[in-house]
Amino acid sequence: MFIIYKTEPISLLICLTYIIQIDMIIGVFIRNFKLFSQTTFIPLSNGEYFTGLIGDNGVGKTTILQALDVYFNKSEWQCSVGADDKEKSEAFIQPVFLIPRDLIPEDLKKEADTINKYMWELRGKTKPDNDPNGYLKYFGGFISSVPDSEFKKTHIMLSIGTNSYQKAVYNIFDKSIINDADRWYRFINSVFNYIYVPTSPDPVSIFSKLSNKQLLAEVEQMSKEDFDCVSPSLLDTSERLLLTVAVLNRSLPQSTGHLCIAGFDEPESALQISSCYDLFERIYKIVGINSQVILTSHWYGFIPLLTQGLLVNILRQNKKTKFFRFDISRFREDIKIRKRIFKEKYHEELPVDVELKTVNDFIQTVIGSVINEPYYNWLICEGSSEKIYFNYYFEDLIRDGNLRIVPVGGVREVKKIYTYLTTPFSDLRDYIKGRVLLLSDTDTQLLEFETHNIPNLYCYRLVNHHGKSELVHIKANPKSPATEIEDVLNGLVFHKALLYFKKFYPDHLDFVSDEDTPQSASYYSLDLPPSHKDKLTAFFDHHHSIKTQFAYKYIEICKSGNYETPEWINNIKDIFTKEDN
């Protein structure tokens, strides 16, 4: 993989990339395994290393994780109910991988190039050869969502399966390009580990499958140190789950050689809903240099905490399974686009309720967490880039004050969440200990809404006024100029970050001079004329990930020197730390 600040054009990819290449599973074909009696392709990555599988009970979420356990760990095969001997003989599980070229053995490299060329050429094909059932067409449409500019030259796309007799197979695709499926299957198992974490996990059993004595020792040690328990077997279900996550978080960054795919089956089922957010945040931290996470869930409140990954909503109707994919980095925009396309094509509404359930589950989590001990505080903001800045500036409150920061995708979502929170915060005011601050930008067309004087629930807006950035109540004056997070940062650091990006976007940022600017708010520090403001806006709007990339660079610069913290940051800290607000 490239762990990158994703962007375009490709030249910037090279310059903004930490060249760390690891492998990943991007999807899997399943036939005659449990629920999937017909050949079915399940998408498992869009080039990122986190995938959330959501949907009702009985749609096959757990089946997918169990199928991977059969493939990698040779667990017991469970054919579809009612399958006859012929159907059992046709059963298979066949993942699709992206594997760095450097890992391919010398004796397989020539064949790997042939396989890779064939697989990528399926991308976007409307009429692939030898495709009577349309599997190749569907697969080609799926891999159009995988960024070939990042992976095509550095990775090999490969698909090798196993049948119900645990023999290597190469189904679906052109069999003539594979000489020795067994050899490829052995290679796959030499570079991947798969950890299946069921709803009631046994850490010792899970890590025993890896034949890794160090991990087993970690399990025993952390059971004693972190849970004050002499044996993991004596822990309750929630503690065993937390121990498993803790071991993965501690051990995987140090591991080398193997990619670990961790499959979590409904991890929220072991915990109270108020604890779910913290658990999912820990699981998301597993995603990294040596690990890929696939989880199933009925709790959609985890979606706002993620910045990258794939969300797959599984729907089963009339014994047919459909997979609706959403890019988590632009989740709400993706839903709107897919709703429009679906309605145009089928003349009906998209049959998913992800948005509504996401909000409902999130609200329940917030309410529970501000009441129960230890209670949490919440900073709810508009966008993912804001979360990056806030994770840095409020690091102490996150660590010591149980602060959680959640981007919700725009001011309308901020308003919606505030509205949902007002009644429980008012009714339960005597029991609420945690504080919630909802923060929005000042837009050109300002969205105003009624707020109430409710203890521990605050709604503020950022705006530039009289040479500085201020934190004001949502309906207070001033109501202009338009102010976004990029307008209220440390001006000197902001300028240094712009200079860095100027090398890659000279046409957008040609107005940025080499002279240092003051550390006042970036809006005033740069003091740009309208034409230069337009260019700066065009730079940030050039690609949906630019603001995120810029935020990471800004933080990197902040950490390299002693720079002033914007005053409004301290004002927000006061809201969470002062005795009376």
> Residue 580 has which token pair?
């009376």
Say whether pLDDT at 3 is over 60: no
CATH superfamily for 3-346 is P-loop containing nucleotide triphosphate hydrolases (3.40.50.300)
Q: What does DSSP say about strands 24-31 and 92-100: parallel, antiparallel, or unpaired? A: antiparallel
In this predicted structure, what is the pLDDT of residue 5?
30
Say whether pLDDT at 210 is over 90: no
Lowest mean pLDDT, pick from 145-154, 193-202, 368-377: 145-154
Average pLDDT of the residues of the chain = 87
Say whether pLDDT at 158 is over 80: yes
Mean pLDDT for 508-524 is: 94
Task: Report d(CA 194, CA 93) in Å as an integer.
Answer: 15
In this predicted structure, what is the pLDDT of residue 304?
76
CA distances from 134 to 41, 173, 301, 341 (A): 11, 12, 35, 21
Mean pLDDT for 63-70 is: 96
Q: Report which residue type is found at 280.
A: F
Q: What does DSSP say about strands 192-197 and 259-265: parallel, antiparallel, or unpaired? A: parallel
Mean pLDDT for 344-361 is: 79
Task: Report d(CA 232, CA 221) in Å as an integer.
Answer: 10
In this predicted structure, what is the pLDDT of residue 255?
57
| DSSP character at residue 483 | B
3-class secondary-structure state, position 465? strand
Say whether pLDDT at 393 is over 60: yes
Torsion angle in degrees (nearest 10) through CA of 435, 388, 43, 271: -30
Q: Report which residue type is found at 269.
A: S
Task: Answer positive or negative: Cα dihedral of 381, 385, 391, 392.
Answer: negative
Question: Could you tell me the pLDDT band of residue 522, with boundaries at 50, 70 and 90?
Answer: very high
Tell me which range, 227-236, 403-412, 570-579, is most confidently predicted by mean pLDDT.
570-579
Question: Could you tell me the pLDDT band of residue 85, with boundaries at 50, 70 and 90?
Answer: confident
Task: Report d(CA 42, CA 33) in Å as an integer.
Answer: 13
Mean pLDDT for 380-395 is: 92
Question: Could you tell me the pLDDT band of residue 19, with boundaries at 50, 70 and 90?
Answer: very low
Task: Report d(CA 163, CA 384) in Å as an integer.
Answer: 43
In this predicted structure, what is the pLDDT of residue 436?
97
- Model confidence pLDDT, tens digit, residues 219-271: 888 888 888 887 888 888 998 998 989 888 887 755 555 788 999 999 999 88
In this predicted structure, what is the pLDDT of residue 518?
94
As a residue count, the chain comes to 581
Q: Where are the alpha helices (DSSP H) in 347-377?
A: 354-371
User: 5 vs 540, which has greater pLDDT?
Assistant: 540
In this predicted structure, what is the pLDDT of residue 559?
96
In this predicted structure, what is the pLDDT of residue 199?
93
Mean pLDDT for 515-531 is: 94
| DSSP character at residue 79 | B
Contact 274, 369 (CB under 8 A): yes
User: 543 vs 77, which has greater pLDDT?
Assistant: 77
Which residues are CB-neighbours of 41 under 8 A, at least 6 positions away?
27, 28, 29, 135, 138, 139, 142
In this predicted structure, what is the pLDDT of residue 250?
80
Question: Could you tell me the pLDDT band of residue 579, with boundaries at 50, 70 and 90?
Answer: confident
In this predicted structure, what is the pLDDT of residue 399?
84
Mean pLDDT for 112-141 is: 87
Question: Could you tell me the pLDDT band of residue 188, with boundaries at 50, 70 and 90?
Answer: very high
Mean pLDDT for 377-387 is: 91
Torsion angle in degrees (nearest 10) through CA of 118, 119, 122, 124: -140
Q: What does DSSP say about strands 92-100 and 155-159: parallel, antiparallel, or unpaired? A: antiparallel
Say whether pLDDT at 293 is over 50: yes
3-class secondary-structure state, position 296? strand
3-class secondary-structure state, position 572? helix
- Segments of the chain assigned to CATH 3.40.50.300: 3-346
pTM of the model: 0.79
Mean pLDDT for 157-182 is: 92
In this predicted structure, what is the pLDDT of residue 17?
32
